Chains A and B, each alone.
Chain A
Amino acid sequence: AQSVTQPDIHITVSEGASLELRCNYSYGATPYLFWYVQSPGQGLQLLLKYFSGDTLVQGIKGFEAEFKRSQSSFNLRKPSVHWSDAAEYFCAVGPRSNDYKLSFGAGTTVTVRA
């Protein structure tokens, strides 16, 4: 069964500093991987996705993520955070073949201090 682990529940970062959010997955085949962001009281917005090819993927809002098969990881990074990046971030795996659902991690809450 597919699953996603986000080891960090909460991260606090200073505005202008770099950010890295960790994501580890368990999946029986080559995964499709996603990062979504959720602002308070809002739905999920897609930041980026990985299906195949280049293991470093670029997304919106200056985010990027790197797929590392050997580590079963798909970590999200941003070189310099803005106050507006304060939100909850979810990593997800799927859908694939006859399994159409997305399986999400528990999320990481990012707080940005001035």
Chain B
Amino acid sequence: EAQVTQNPRYLITVTGKKLTVTCSQNMNHEYMSWYRQDPGLGLRQIYYSMNVEATDKGDVPEGYKVSRKEKRNFPLILESPSPNQTSLYFCASSLYRESPKLFFGSGTQLSVL
């Protein structure tokens, strides 16, 4: 089954404790991205990757890191989380950047205390 798998689904942590949210797709997609969703706001892109070893900043990259060492995986790293990073996070992938067929993970609800 074609899917984007995100883990964990829920995460509660404390300020400053490094964490990683994993994202994996099994569709051989070149394009992957991370979004955050906050109440009353549209999804905002954090980082994206056009292909392996090619990552770039989105609209809200501050406080986040990503890597793309393998085509299928695109982890999101918060090296020193802060309360303003409490949000719902989505990973997405598509065959290419402007492809209309965008696949989303189920989301990770992160709370930073």
A complexed with B: no
- Tell me the A residues contacting B by CB distance below 8 Å: none
- Tell me the B residues contacting A by CB distance below 8 Å: none
